[in-house]
Amino acid sequence: MEVLGALDVAELAAAFAHLPVFPVFDLGYFVVSILYLKYEKGAVELSRQSPFASWVVAMLYCFGSYILADLLLGEAPIDYFSNNSSVLLATAVWYLTFYCPLNLFYKCVTFLPVKLIFVAMKEVVRVRKIAAGVHHAHHHYHQGWLIMVVIGFVKGSGVALMSNFEQLLRGVWKPETNEFLHMTFPSKASLYGAILFTLQQTHWMPISKDSLIFFFTLFMISCKVFMTASHSHGSPFAPVEGVLCPILFGSVPPGHD
Amino acid sequence: MEVLGALDVAELAAAFAHLPVFPVFDLGYFVVSILYLKYEKGAVELSRQSPFASWVVAMLYCFGSYILADLLLGEAPIDYFSNNSSVLLATAVWYLTFYCPLNLFYKCVTFLPVKLIFVAMKEVVRVRKIAAGVHHAHHHYHQGWLIMVVIGFVKGSGVALMSNFEQLLRGVWKPETNEFLHMTFPSKASLYGAILFTLQQTHWMPISKDSLIFFFTLFMISCKVFMTASHSHGSPFAPVEGVLCPILFGSVPPGHD
Amino acid sequence: MEVLGALDVAELAAAFAHLPVFPVFDLGYFVVSILYLKYEKGAVELSRQSPFASWVVAMLYCFGSYILADLLLGEAPIDYFSNNSSVLLATAVWYLTFYCPLNLFYKCVTFLPVKLIFVAMKEVVRVRKIAAGVHHAHHHYHQGWLIMVVIGFVKGSGVALMSNFEQLLRGVWKPETNEFLHMTFPSKASLYGAILFTLQQTHWMPISKDSLIFFFTLFMISCKVFMTASHSHGSPFAPVEGVLCPILFGSVPPGHD
């Protein structure tokens, strides 16, 4: 019975890991990303005054992770934009989010049950990106543990890591903070996820990649759906960090006091 | 007779499209670019206090389009600086513009008839750069329509797209605006030109590249010479945008009210 | 006797130029670089509040020159991070500098005689980097004199050239100044050194590379050790610049009045 159960989970994980993300899950990713853009102060005014700048920023929100990862690996940062269908889908989502008559699209996707589904879909894409990033970096640098972690981290965090420059495009400048100074949950989770996937890729962690994708996706979905539903900004990593940081760095990370 | 006329135009366009831009037209490009740099507030003081920074900024003004396009395509952003003669010519223009005794060079090139000739020459180079940019991107990404447009746009707009960073080099910081938020005529024209050249390159527009270069150059020269002569900042695209923007984006672009 | 002396110097220079820089000299480089980071206002607070950001900044201080040079040559800016042992060594130095109990490590390395040795070691690495940068650029661009100078300059100056962005990572923003506007001695020396190594590489200067490395290292060590010991910020280039600048650029560089 237990062998059967294990087989089932492995098969389920394998099936899940081979589900194509385009177009359905990517749609969720684009919807949630551009929704977060619309929540930014001044984003709606920007879409009225300068649709071109608004579109450029929206593309950064949707494809920032590819741009950053390609940049770090010395490839063309514009490379992903050769996927015309992805860009078209993201553009459609951007257009509907900002310019749909009666704000209908926005009202639909921010209806909580719908939004939670999209949030879950976004996490599916995020975990896949982390795994693909680590794999891609491993392909270039077989012994480059750190590079694998960095590329996985960047693929998971995306536009957050270049928030200063994304804001600058919108005419906003907040030099006093950035994602490195105050890491949000998705970035931290991407970092820890990238470490896990790097351990898996270099055979230090005895688990199949499919299973890791499956379980890490479950973890991310649970956390993000719970946080979105409860409007919480707490981090599930806080207890561990609260123990480790004082020992390692003689300090308590911000938000723990 | 008409066939003859058509032949003549086609031949003229072909001859024009094969005129080498170096050194004569490039000279016009450098003169006008560095003139615009000298118009910038604080640029003359900078040339006195820090000639090195002034030279670096001048090089960005002259070669910014190559730097940006190479960066986006994952090539060495410094690549174009292997053209020693171009760099030497640009350096000579920079030196004469800022340090010529009695400000003689500046006085000559800002004499309106002379300046208009240089302005026209700059547009010749700009259109060639757009065409070359689209062609170059097409070589890398055969189906990458968007990439072709972006590279053509970047090759036409040049330093304007990185004005924030160019200013930063001079110790000036204006985060509240950039070329994406308030597009100037040359950038807009480069964008529309890049779209036209992309349509031509992908055989959606039944016109030869030589003819497109010829007619688009004529259009750019007329606009820029007229605008320079009349100190106008109006845009010939304003009427079309004034009709399309309210329909597409429910808004009137800035400067139309 | 004189031939013997010449032989001795040549042999000494050759032996010196083939000394491996890792790990001993690199250690000096990392210690002094991260020491300068700790001197920066707010760096200690940053290390308490956000160890991750502090580590990222420390890596920029240690490997900024590789990142910039790779970026300019179109290679992966993260490439050098595949040297796991270098990164581990730099991380250890960062950890000890900021978190060592009783601040013991900091107290040891800032003890003047010890510090002067590390400063000297850092200059050994700097000159090697300049030479390697020029050589590397020459490999890509045989006629690219300017590119050789730029890459050598960047390899010698390192993080100083991206100080604005390094500060931004720490939440600090000082747009009114940068290394191009107010060049410090190490940057100027790197620039002049890069010019010398480029002349050597292109056979315009009849001296072996080993000898140039040897003598330029001696020069850099003398200057920096003297400047560090005497807390001086004067530049040995000031007299020459004081003569040349007024002739070439009609101005006196800042700090000369």
A197-217 tens-digit pLDDT: 999 999 999 999 999 999 999
The pLDDT assigned to C253 comes to 53
Per-residue pLDDT at A120 exceeds 80: yes
Q: With an 8 Å Cβ cutoff, are C169 and A183 in contact?
A: no
Chain C residues in contact with chain A using a Cβ-Cβ cutoff of 8 Å: 46-53, 56, 70, 74-79, 81-82, 84, 87, 98-99, 168-173
User: Residue A242 phi/psi, 5° resolution?
Assistant: -65, -25
Per-residue pLDDT at B4 exceeds 70: no
Chain B residues in contact with chain C using a Cβ-Cβ cutoff of 8 Å: 46-53, 56, 70, 74-79, 81-82, 84, 87, 98-99, 168-173
The pLDDT assigned to B109 comes to 96
Per-residue pLDDT reduced to its tens digit, C106-133: 999 999 999 999 999 999 999 999 999 9
Percent residues over pLDDT 70 in chain A = 95
Per-residue pLDDT at B15 exceeds 60: yes
Q: Whole-number mean pLDDT of chain C?
A: 93
For the residues B89-115, what does the mean pLDDT come to? 96
Is residue A212 a part of any domain in this protein? Answer: yes
Contacts of C76 in chain A (CB under 8 A): 72-75, 140
Per-residue pLDDT at B3 exceeds 80: no
Question: In Å, how far is A145's CA from the nearest CA of chain B?
Answer: 23
Per-residue pLDDT reduced to its tens digit, A82-106: 999 999 999 999 999 999 999 999 9
Per-residue pLDDT at B106 exceeds 50: yes
For the residues B16-45, what does the mean pLDDT come to? 95
Q: State the alpha helices, DSSP H only, in chain A.
A: 2-17, 24-39, 43-49, 51-72, 84-99, 104-109, 112-140, 145-157, 163-169, 185-201, 209-229, 238-249
Q: With an 8 Å Cβ cutoff, are C73 and B74 in contact?
A: no
Q: Whole-number mean pLDDT of chain B?
A: 93
For the residues B77-98, what does the mean pLDDT come to? 97
Confidence of residue C234 (pLDDT cuts 50, 70, 90): confident
Per-residue pLDDT at C257 exceeds 50: no
Per-residue pLDDT at A5 exceeds 70: no
Per-residue pLDDT at B2 exceeds 70: no
Q: Which of B47, B98, B171 has the CB atom closest to C176's CB atom?
A: B171
For the residues C94-115, what does the mean pLDDT come to? 96
The pLDDT assigned to A233 comes to 82
The pLDDT assigned to A234 comes to 82
Percent residues over pLDDT 90 in chain C = 89
Q: Whole-number mean pLDDT of chain A?
A: 93
Question: In Å, how far is A89's CA from the nearest CA of chain B?
Answer: 13
If DSSP states are collapsed to H, E and C, what string results for chain C?
CHHHHHHHHHHHHHHHHCCCCCCHHHHHHHHHHHHHHHHCCCHHHHHHHCHHHHHHHHHHHHHHHHHHHHHHCCCCCCHHHHCHHHHHHHHHHHHHHHHCHHHHHHHHHCCHHHHHHHHHHHHHHHHHHHHHHHHHHHHHCCCCHHHHHHHHHHHHHHHHHHHHHHHHHCCCCCCCCCCCCCCCHHHHHHHHHHHHHHHHHCCCCCCCHHHHHHHHHHHHHHHHHHHHHHCCCCCCCHHHHHHHHHHHHCCCCCCCC
Nearest to A56 by CA among A221, A169, A224, A219: A169
Per-residue pLDDT reduced to its tens digit, B231-256: 988 889 999 989 999 999 986 555 44
Contacts of C144 in chain B (CB under 8 A): 81-82, 84
Higher pLDDT, C253 or A56: A56
Q: Which of A71-75, B82-86, C232-236 shows the lowest mean pLDDT across its residues? A: C232-236
For residue C87, give the chain A residue with the closest CA.
Answer: A146
Is residue A257 a part of any domain in this protein? Answer: no
Q: With an 8 Å Cβ cutoff, are B87 and C245 in contact?
A: no
- The number of folded domains in chain B is 1
Domain span at C91: 14-238
Is residue A117 a part of any domain in this protein? Answer: yes
Contacts of C77 in chain A (CB under 8 A): 71-72, 74
